[in-house]
Amino acid sequence: MNKIEKQKLVNFVAELNPFTVELKPFHPRIGSDCPHLPLTSLCTEDKHPTTEVFLCFSENKIIVAELHNRMGEVKLLGVWPSSYVYRIIWALELKDVEYEYIEGEFHKPDFTDLLLKYNPVYKKVPVLVLDGKPIAESTVILEYIEETWPQPPLLSQDPYERAMARFWVSFAEEKTIPFMSFFVAVGEEFEKAEKEVREVLKILEETIGEKKYFGGEEIGLLDINLGWIALLFGVIEDIVGVKVLVVDEFPRLFTWIQNFMEHPTIKTNLPNHQEMVLYYKQKRETVIPSKIA
């Protein structure tokens, strides 16, 4: 089937549905039984289509015709400079999803009312709201984003690779505690935390190997999950006055941080380093006196 024939078929389908037609590639897993076939998507002219029709062509017949529901209005609730919120911002931006970002402060009644409405269990950010339906917890939101907007993919099409990525995401989530202790601890507790942080970094150094990103040649789910290290750990080091993640000891991680921070989408969605230093320095000062007293 040539391009003209495909366009005729698309026009025919469009006449049966009140859609404005747009041709674009879509996720190959829809045609997993014919992975080399091109995929075409029909969507509404609306910025947030509620329904998409996917067609997979092979010679003179349609191999796949599948309907996927899509949420309409997309909103993200967040606070500055939460690394958990930035995870969601990066994922949405990488997938070119249009959304409204609502940035608030926990002490302001209007924002706390929103959190009480959309996340009454934890009352935390981030919260992704789709047509009024909220999703909380950054790791859950990331999985939802990947399933709802699969292009470009954050997870491999290979089941084993996807499982491994999720394993390391789970590992990274569990190992945030030593980094938190490194930030707020003093004395022997600080020395213990520093040692534990080095151990975690060594594991990550071995895990990334010679790859550009943890996801390979492109940013993946684990990169976004670990993005807080690139975003925040240098800030923590500046505040506590101890450098741990140095190029001589962790050359691969150091290179990964540079690659991650220089990615065009990430680079345009980063907070100011010095402003973060001032913010987290004040946060630390509210905790340290109680530990010394």
For 270-279, write each residue's pLDDT tens digit.
999 999 999 9
Identify the residue with better confidence: 237 or 38.
237
pTM of the full structure = 0.76
pLDDT value at residue 289: 61
pLDDT value at residue 204: 97
Residues 6+ apart with CB under 8 A from 100: 73, 74, 75, 76
pLDDT value at residue 60: 42
Mean pLDDT, rounded, for 72-98: 94
Q: What is the distance between the alpha carbons of residues 219 and 146, in angstroms, rounded to a whole number?
A: 13
Mean pLDDT, rounded, for 231-249: 95
Mean pLDDT, rounded, for 9-36: 47
Identify the residue with better confidence: 237 or 287.
237
What is the average pLDDT value for the chain, to the nearest integer?
A: 82
Strands 51-58 and 74-79: unpaired
Q: Which residue in 81, 88, 61, 230 sits closest to 149, CA to CA?
A: 88
pLDDT band at 4 (very low <50, low <70, confident <90, very high): low
- Whether the pLDDT of residue 62 is over 80: the answer is no
Side chain identity at residue 52, one-letter code? E
